[in-house]
Amino acid sequence: MGSIDAPTFTQNGSDATVAADGPPPPVPDSIIMTMEKTLEADSSRKRRFGMLPLEVGTRVMCRWRDGKYHPVKVIERRKMHIGGVNDYEYYVHYTEFNRRLDEWVKLEQLDLESVEAVVDEKVEDKVTSLKMTRHQKRKIDETHVEGHEELDAASLREHEEFTKVKNIATIELGRYEIETWYFSPFPPEYNDSLKLYFCEFCLNFMKRKEQLQRHMRKCDLKHPPGDEIYRSGTLSMFEVDGKKNKVYGQNLCYLAKLFLDHKTLYYDVDLFLFYVLCECDDRGCHMVGYFSKEKHSEESYNLACILTLPPYQRKGYGKFLIAFSYELSKKEGKVGTPERPLSDLGLLSYRGYWTRVLLDILKKHKGNISIKELSDMTAIKAEDILTTLQSLELIQYRKGQHVICADPKVLDRHLKAAGRGGLEVDVSKLIWTPYKEQG
Ligand code: ACO
Ligand code: ZN
């Protein structure tokens, strides 16, 4: 260890003067100051190298892609082939940011002077604090373990431990190469691959480009399997039944999990319908995003997971998918709500959608309107309407009851802040029969 440290130490420092034998000659003050600083730097360096390699759980400042230092927590470490205490890479979580920014960093990105003395013994255990319904537990199956309903806190912790480091770094899908955000439980034979190649139509995935090229020559799909239930301009929506297209459903879940953190994976794809949004051209229908929906939901969920693939994000497709999920609920004559928990981006998108839809109605409406009426008109669940209007401070308690206060100027201000409306769903282009009415 020492011998490997030495060159690095010498390279960075000027310790030769400090280590010189015999009494030092008299020196002017400024030089003494410099020597004191050098001694300080020396001991600091020794201290720093003494702490290497850093323990998992260490909190330290790390240089991010914006060139600035941000606090991180070390989640994992791995030895590089060259060896030595400073030849480790660290997988870090930026504590101010979402887990999708977690990444492997080199030692030189870390400011060792900022290492905090206390090392957390366990990586944050979000799972044990996660309140899960029996229904949610039923659906956890990221580790291919059957009978996972019985997962106790320890197994959940193990599960969190298993998923803490991203496994696949990038994927190729159609004409895009996409950096992934989170761990996804691909079958074990894919464990040694950093990059996966997806067929953009059937979503089969492969380890090598040549395999994909061979596959593309024989794959006869040019759009998702299932029924095209909506077409407007170049946009199409396909309904895929997880029971009829099991492999497609599973592939879609593997793909989606790369961008969804606390959502659980559904191997039980039989129970779901997948609504896949595509941009179509003469080469085929290219997946933009999707949402899944349980065939029967006890909790009135009208959407389980929603994803817009990163190259298509911030273009209004998310709001289109959300609007579409409510249009389906309207056709079913039901109110709906998205499954919880919502991600940060999910919450932003839903808040924006709810605000826009509700305030548009309030602006046009003359006379009194109740939350129940708003819910009937929009298929948005009453609780979501109440929380949205409360967060906008549009609900007041007057004479013993809650009333909606809709001052047009305030409504306009909120509408402006809610951002753009997103891509419109043209309901006249939706040709669809609810699942329970399908033969
Ligand atoms: N930064 C700030 N605001 C954002 C961002 C962002 N990166 N992304 C979305 N928003 C907000 C904005 O208010 C945006 O409206 P604006 O562009 O008019 O300002 C609004 O959300 C939605 O924008 P869209 O373009 O309609 O949505 P997008 O196509 O980007 O899709 C989605 C939103 C689906 C949440 C996407 O970010 C995504 O796939 N994220 C990863 C997966 C995920 O978190 N899904 C939700 C999980 S919860 C659940 O599944 C029930
Ligand atoms: Zn294919």
| CA 435 – CA 241 distance, rounded (Å) | 10
**Mean local confidence (pLDDT), 368-376:** 93
Residue 152: which pLDDT band, with cuts at 50, 70 and 90?
low
Residue of 295, 314, 206 whose CA lies nearest to 254:
206
Alpha helices in 365-407 (DSSP H): 371-378, 382-391
Whether the CB of 57 sits within 6 Å of ligand 1:
no
Given the residues 36, 161, 339, 393, the one annotated as active site: 339
Whether the CB of 257 sits within 6 Å of ligand 1:
no
Whether the CB of 357 sits within 6 Å of ligand 1:
no
| CA 339 – CA 297 distance, rounded (Å) | 10
**Catalytic site includes residue 339:** yes
Identify the nearest ligand to the CA of 302 by its number: 1
- Considering only CA atoms, which residue is closest to atom 5 of ligand 1? 345
Q: For a pocket test of ligand 1, which of 291, 309, 313, 424 has the largest count of ligand atoms closer than 8 A to its C-beta?
A: 313
pLDDT of residue 121: 53
Residue 412: which pLDDT band, with cuts at 50, 70 and 90?
very high
CA 425–ligand 2 middle distance (angstroms)? 29
| CA 251 – CA 198 distance, rounded (Å) | 9
CB atoms within 10 A of CB 298: 8
pLDDT at 87 over 50: yes
Task: Determine the length of the chain.
Answer: 439
Identify the nearest ligand to the CA of 204 by its number: 2
Residue of 212, 195, 206, 127 whose CA lies nearest to 162:
127
Beta strands in 46-106 (DSSP E): 59-63, 69-79, 88-94, 103-106
Contact 317, 308 (CB under 8 A): yes
Least confident residue range of 45-49, 57-61, 258-262? 45-49
Atom of ligand 1 nearest to the CA of 260: 42
pLDDT digits (tens, 9 = 90+) for 138-147: 343 333 332 3
- Considering only CA atoms, which residue is closest to atom 6 of ligand 1? 345
Name the region of 186 (left: φ>0; alpha: ψ -120 to 50; beta: rest).
beta
pLDDT at 236 over 80: yes
Whether the CB of 292 sits within 6 Å of ligand 1:
no
CA 342–ligand 1 middle distance (angstroms)? 11
Q: For a pocket test of ligand 1, which of 98, 277, 278, 314 has the largest count of ligand atoms closer than 8 A to its C-beta?
A: 314
Q: For a pocket test of ligand 1, which of 348, 415, 416 has the largest count of ligand atoms closer than 8 A to its C-beta?
A: 348
CB atoms within 10 A of CB 214: 12
Atom of ligand 1 nearest to the CA of 352: 13
Residue 67 buriedness (CB in 10 A; 0-12 / 13-18 / 19+):
exposed
Contact 355, 389 (CB under 8 A): no
Residue 183: which pLDDT band, with cuts at 50, 70 and 90?
very high
Least confident residue range of 191-195, 329-333, 384-388, 416-420? 416-420
Contact 405, 414 (CB under 8 A): no
CA 316–ligand 1 middle distance (angstroms)? 8
Identify the nearest ligand to the CA of 420 by its number: 1
pLDDT digits (tens, 9 = 90+) for 251-263: 999 999 999 987 6
Alpha helices in 229-304 (DSSP H): 246-257
CA angle, 274 then 275 then 280, to 5°: 130
